Structure 1
């Protein structure tokens, strides 16, 4: 019976991948007060997967009017995350989840979904350094800065210390400006939750001005179905103080926070979060939100400020004061990368707000995400609907030529985008400042 059901799900996934689907920018699914329909549950989940193909020679994503895009680096191995060093060097984490045997029918289906979407490739487990020595917008030097890591993701530089958030630990390495290879084995600062199945394996990282570090840790399940013990210290943002050897859960109840950034006008921490699946095409909105100490956003019991998830039957309940996210990005768009526009040279239209890499949906019709969007801000808060900066990652026939992940601004204000299916880092600039 289980084998028959699995076969049906996988066949549905293959057929769904051949369908079309365009970016849904419906206003009712975005903004500070998104419309939340009643949850729906079906015998089989919606599977609308875009099989990964990569980019044909000479093709690239579509930039918004007034912008242009070129490949900063190609031939990478599943580039997921970016960090720009003060001297202009670009670090790229070439990484994926560590191999593991799937557990149960749900795990088998998830593995098939990931394989179709190009997410089952072996992890390169390295951080590469890209350097553009002649200023033409293309990296002409490439070296492996760090190798032998365990699914590295977030990176942060503090003085002459480079911190790396691997899937199971926060590690620090000595770094000297201009260095192209680090041979020092580094030092483990703090273990991070990586208990099986380590469902959300990525660990985002950012350094705060006071020298502390924020680390994002995703949940170990979709809606708590793995049980409470599996989620200890997960679905949270940690604050780590390396100088005092201290760590604490700074905010909780966030299913899968990934990108972290400090809003430049207010100094406030923000994150983008991936919400739960299988409650309908319009549920649950992924979001962009500010984060303060002690906040809980309600996962897994409730979503978007208080709507109960009918599937959750934990013995404990949600906290009394559940925070509502600041801004809905749309359901199932899968936001990963986040950076604020301070220092952007893309033009006045893109000067204040947040750039977000939306990896793209699998549990929704029509498809959503597969784009880099910009949420304009005013006085430190979202002030308008998301605008596409870079699109065309998913074809009209439903194939994924690429999937945006990490985003970062270069020293000269260009926008970099890590494309983990296209194995490329794209560089977006203004035509006016060519």
Structure 2
């Protein structure tokens, strides 16, 4: 009897927690207070900052560039720079979104605190802004919007709304610990584009129809109100970075290749999509033109689009952005900066660097080159793992690092 009572109490407590989380979101949607008063504030100086600066002194950059510590941000993943230039929101693969503020505009953050602390986030990896200043957050299985995040983030309560309700972004049965970091962008058509990585190294055949229908193993697009969901991209293993070419509207995205095929294959991918519905070959191809063992005897799609650029194998290409600023030399304008997180399953690790890929006038890609490196030493030890790249309004770029828990700023000139 006592065991039953304990179990009943535990179930009631769990249910109460769930209801409380839902109630907070409902209250925020109705512009009501949640009663939350406390923030988690991250110290920005001290020994940790000095240790990070010592590592940054070893980073190699092209002549004229420099890298500095912008902010200490635990578990820093993808970033969304506010359209008003007030605050940068940084997602994580845990339960926090961080608001990073440089109040005195000295290009070093003065304050880092958690955003919307009354909301229980689950893998809020992917924040992104609309041109109108609406912040979207793509979680493991939900999408939220914050219409005035830049102006209300100073308080613990902020207007928040469901775009895609919990459990409706993907089927609940497909939730996994693997490949659940979503990213989002608002496209030139005003719609929200969200990547949906599939959970396997290579999915079994019985999953393919479901994944094609739901847009898992691809990119979906929806209206900013959550309506009109459609599958925009298929044949993608796990994309954790995409952006639109501002010159012609093409969607570009990184993709992580299949593991277990050797150190030197298959290549990583930087892809260019020029029309809705294009297929990029996975799981028949594991990266580039390298076939997967599981599907090597099956005919790949005849219209499969091959990568615009083949990147180094197992370097883990993640976040990317088109550079539209004017601070950097002409060579970099209109090109792509992307982050390589670094190998986890390669005998000799590679990556942990920022890459640059020029984009030609006809929209095609030039040859990629290393832009910033030095977080991986000759002994294969990581001193940082870049995740995402985002432009600041002054034309410098931010680089996030989830190993160190920091955001760096790369600038050019004095």
Q: 1:197 to 1:317 in 2, by over 3 A?
A: farther
Q: 1:276 aligns with which of 258, 261, 276?
A: 258
- Of stretches 127-136 and 287-296 in structure 1, the one that deviates more from structure 2 is 127-136
Q: Which residue of 2 aligns with 1:331?
A: 313
Task: Report the CA distance between 1:186 and its aligned residue.
Answer: 2.4
Map 1:289-308 → 2, pairs under 5 A: 289-291=271-273, 292-304=275-287, 307-308=290-291
Q: Say yes or no: does 1:65 pair with 2:82.
A: no
Q: Which moved more, 1:154-163 or 1:259-268?
A: 154-163
- 1:260 aligned residue (233, 242, 257): 242
Using the TM superposition, give the Cα deviation of residue 140 of structure 1 relative to its aligned residue in structure 2, in angstroms. 1.0
- Pairwise CA distance, 1:266: 1.2
Any idea what SS the aligned residue of 1:178 has? helix
Q: Are the aligned partners of 1:305 and 1:322 in contact in 2 as well (CA < 8 Å)?
A: no
Q: Deviations over 1:301-337 (max 9, x none)?
A: 22456543222389x8643321112111121111111
Match of 1:87 among 84, 89, 105: 84
Equivalent residues in 2 for 1:224-373, closer than 5 Å = 224-225=203-204, 227-228=206-207, 231=211, 233-243=215-225, 245-291=227-273, 292-304=275-287, 307-312=290-295, 318-373=300-355
Matches within 5 A, 1:131-170: 131-147=101-117, 148-158=120-130, 159-170=132-143
Report how far residue 385 of structure 1 moved.
Answer: 2.4
Structure of larger gyration radius: 2
3-state secondary structure, aligned to 1:63 = coil
Alpha carbons 1:335, 1:358 under 8 Å: kept = yes
TM-score, scaled relative to structure 1 = 0.75
Query: How many Å separate the matches in 1 of 2:261 and 2:326?
Result: 37
**Which consecutive aligned stretches of 4+ in structure 1 deviate over 6 angstroms post-superposition?**
none
Determine the structure 1 residue equivalent to 2:16. none
The superposition leaves residues 384-425 of structure 1 with CA deviations (integer Å, 9 ceiling, x where unpaired) of 322222111111221111100011000101110001111110
Number of paired residues?
A: 350
- Structure 2 unaligned regions, length at least 5: 1-49
Once the 2 structures are TM-superposed, how far is the Cα of residue 363 of structure 1 from its aligned partner?
A: 2.5
1:55–1:402 Cα contact (<8 Å) kept: no
Corresponding residue number in structure 2 for 1:217: 196
Q: Does 1:398 align with 2:360?
A: no
Of 78-87 and 381-390, the range deviating more from structure 2: 381-390
Give the structure with the larger strand fraction: 1
Question: For residue 192 of structure 1, what is the aligned residue in structure 2?
Answer: 169
Query: For residues 151 and 197 of structure 2, what CA distance do their matches in structure 1 show?
Result: 33
Whether contact under 8 Å (1:204, 1:216) holds in the other structure is yes
Deviation at residue 176 of structure 1 after TM alignment = 5.3
Deviation at 1:202, TM superposition (A): 0.8
Pair 1:425-2:397 in alignment: no
The answer to which structure, 1 or 2, has the higher relative contact order (CA under 8 A, 6+ apart) is 1
Deviations 1:221-271 (A, max 9, x none): 011159516745311000111347111111101101111111121121111
In the alignment, the residues of structure 1 paired with residue 150 and residue 69 of structure 2 have an alpha-carbon distance, to the nearest angstrom, of 25
Tell me if structure 1 keeps the 8 A contact 2:265–2:313.
yes
RMSD of aligned residue pairs (Cα, Å): 2.4
Q: Is the 8 A contact 1:79 1:92 kept in 2?
A: no
Q: Which has the higher helix share?
A: 2
Q: How high is the TM-score relative to the length of structure 2? A: 0.78
